[in-house]
Structure 1
Amino acid sequence: MSTQSASSAPQLTSPTEDDAARQYGAVLFFSDFDDPVTWGDALKENIPGLDFRVYPDVGNPDDIRHVLAWKPAPGFFEPFKNIAQVINLGAGIDLLVGRNDLPDVPISRLSDPGMIALMRSYVLFSVIRYARNIPEFEQAKRRREWQYIHPRPLHRIKVGVLGLGHLGGAVASGLAAAGFDVRGWDHADKTIDGVKTFGASKRDAFLSDVEILVNMMPHTKHTEKLIDKTVFDALPRGAKFVNASRGPVVDEPALVEALRSGHLGGATLDVFWVEPLPQDHPFWGMENVLITPHLASITVPEAAARDVAESIRRVSAGGEPLHRADTRRGY
């Protein structure tokens, strides 16, 4: 039987900040849109003692090993010579590709259930708003007019999703689960339960009977202005358009013309070429356009921090991060 006193027994201690700094280095956070306090608290719950710094309070730039950033300006990365990875505080990495201030390190995108749920909810709202004739009822209300429009069964309403990647695939599945007739198009062949999919060569067949078109394509040099006059012309007259992905994927003058001509019956737009949207932009004056300020999907730190912490551990141990993006493809 041991006679060792409680006072002389080995004591278990929590990791100190010095321990975490030696193991992981410092994490630098930069975003004009996300809350650094919430992010810092969430990461420290997963890695106690983590050295979490918020730009511009960088401290010694040589300490920085991991960067969490959203829309860093050109030249942002130049002072940091020991970066091991960059984690983009969002899904699209287009502003991190082809930079001359960023060394060849892994770039990851966030992937958390909260982000997916928010995107799915935004698109469902937008599609259901058109499917249930809500814009017409909004106009009737302004006229003080009781206007009845007989509802159509959801399974007869054809919704098309352009882009079936991480978020686009989840959106298509969510629309199908809600009861819509969903079809999807992507450059690569995809298979999604409940969704009729079309490959790269079948774009016109995909568009020909879509009543509500949802853009979920990433922004790359290959997708810029991908949705142009030819796309809008291929849709049935009166079709609706939802853009919840990236503004530059859409040829805005072509969209304005399609809306003015009546070929498109309406649009719900969350993203634009220039943000905030300039006050003199034609979209503001269009009754058939709903504008939201780039909020279709935001990161939920409490959920995303688990993956970010795991990526910090993996890269610090010489491994690969979670959700690494393919910078050659741009997503």
Structure 2
Amino acid sequence: MTFLFKSEARRGEVWRMRLQKEFPNLDFRIWPDVGDPLKVKYVACWVPPADLCQEFPKLELVFSVGAGVDQIDLSALPSGVKLLRMTEPGLAAGMSEYGTLAVLAAHRNLPAYLELQRTRAWKQLPAVAANDRSVGVMGLGVLGAGLLDSLKPFGFRLHGWSRSPKVIDGVTTFAGPDELVQFLSRIDILVCLLPLTDETRGILNSTIFNALPNNACLINVGRGGHLIEKDLLDALASNKLCCAILDVANTEPLPVDHPFWTHPKVVLTPHVASVTDAEGGAEFVVTNLRRHLANEPLTGVVDASRGY
């Protein structure tokens, strides 16, 4: 049987060593070296090969090399083929680090101080105590819950919103469309960690921004497709929002003439908030292959009806 890897070659070599040690009879191949398509049972990728299931009719499992699966057409996967999204511990740790960094940057006015530095203005801005600042996370899966846990020691008032009800110690939670405005009305720093689905595409828009208190900050570490970019620019121009910290964009890399590059209230990073660790990712795959071969339940299986 063949395991086909279609992603970064350096990571592929780490995976090859780990998987061949665990499964000596596994033929590990790195795209485009496919070998016999009829022997391909497992594919790991960010963007799948075209005509995935027609090309590999014996396919059983598809592994996304990242936490997201919105780049994969779920409707093209036959019912017998399971799609798994990466849930290795390094992803959650990286997101907690970046999310904490971004929340603290917003809390301590770093975007405004960076602009003052560019204009050579030595000016102190009003400080707010952490226990007087409300942070809200949209999306309470492993990554969102992990970020909220990392923020607890600072003393922020913590809130979370998700599609279905969740209970998190020390966090005031809200669920569903009916509770969204109630959630937003108390949030000073809003973090988007939602999966990108048909329901959440474009959710960061003028309606959301207008429901926030004045001078709130947006942090988007979900997907660029969550954000209506014009609505964000309008909210920044009107001072409805004081700043935005963005790790994702609708088009990546961001076009050179995009206004976010030079906007005084926008801080950009190039989709680096959470990156799969090669060793951790390989261990995730090994664990699930063991389970699959033993007919045991798999971890990280995507529910096609929900999109994540």
TM-score exceeds 0.5: yes
User: Take 1:249 and 1:85, find their aligned partners in 2: how far apart are those partners?
Assistant: 28
What's 1:140 paired with? 116
Gaps of 5+ in 1: 1-24
User: Take 1:270 and 1:138, find their aligned partners in 2: how far apart are those partners?
Assistant: 17
Q: Does 1:60 align with 2:17?
A: no
Partner letter of residue 215 of structure 2? G
Contact kept, 8 Å, 2:115 with 2:264, in 1: the verdict is no
Contact kept, 8 Å, 1:42 with 1:301, in 2: the verdict is no
User: Take 1:33 and 1:178, find their aligned partners in 2: how far apart are those partners?
Assistant: 40
TM-score norm. by structure 1 comes to 0.86
User: Take 1:163 and 1:101, find their aligned partners in 2: how far apart are those partners?
Assistant: 26
Alpha carbons of structure 1 residues 175 and 34: separation in structure 2 relative to 1, 3 Å = farther
Give how far 1:98 is off: 3.2
Output the aligned Cα RMSD: 2.0
Give how far 1:103 is off: 6.1
Give how far 1:35 is off: 2.4
User: Take 1:242 and 1:33, find their aligned partners in 2: how far apart are those partners?
Assistant: 31
SS at match of 2:54: coil
Q: Does 1:114 align with 2:126?
A: no
Q: Give 4+ residue runs of structure 1 displaced > 6 Å after superposition.
A: none
Contact kept, 8 Å, 2:288 with 2:298, in 1: the verdict is yes
Alpha carbons of structure 1 residues 174 and 48: separation in structure 2 relative to 1, 3 Å = farther
Give how far 1:286 is off: 0.8
- Kindly provide the CA deviation profile for residues 241-293 of structure 1, in whole angstroms up to 9, marking residues without a partner as x: 00001111222221121122221111111111111111222212311111111
What's 1:11 paired with? none
SS at match of 2:135: strand
User: Take 2:17 and 2:49, find their aligned partners in 1: how far apart are those partners?
Assistant: 25
Report the more deviating stretch, 297-306 or 205-214: 297-306
Q: Does 1:263 align with 2:227?
A: no
Partner letter of residue 230 of structure 1? T
TM-score norm. by structure 2 comes to 0.93
Match of 2:107 among 131, 135, 156: 131
Match of 1:241 among 218, 226, 232: 218
What's 2:129 paired with? 153
Report the more deviating stretch, 217-226 or 308-317: 308-317
What's 1:191 paired with? 167
Partner letter of residue 97 of structure 2? S
User: Take 2:156 and 2:10, find their aligned partners in 1: how far apart are those partners?
Assistant: 34
Match of 2:144 among 168, 181, 195: 168
User: Take 1:58 and 1:228, find their aligned partners in 2: how far apart are those partners?
Assistant: 43
What's 2:183 paired with? 206
Paired positions, count: 307
Percent identity reads 36
Give how far 1:227 is off: 1.9
Alpha carbons of structure 1 residues 261 and 33: separation in structure 2 relative to 1, 3 Å = farther
Give how far 1:150 is off: 5.3
User: Take 1:133 and 1:42, find their aligned partners in 2: how far apart are those partners?
Assistant: 44
What's 1:312 paired with? 289
Partner letter of residue 183 of structure 1? H
- Kindly provide the CA deviation profile for residues 224-249 of structure 1, in whole angstroms up to 9, marking residues without a partner as x: 11221110001111111000011112
What's 1:179 paired with? 155
Partner letter of residue 239 of structure 2? G
Gaps of 5+ in 2: none
Report the more deviating stretch, 185-194 or 149-158: 149-158
Alpha carbons of structure 1 residues 206 and 103: separation in structure 2 relative to 1, 3 Å = closer
Match of 1:78 among 39, 51, 54: 54
Give how far 1:155 is off: 1.8
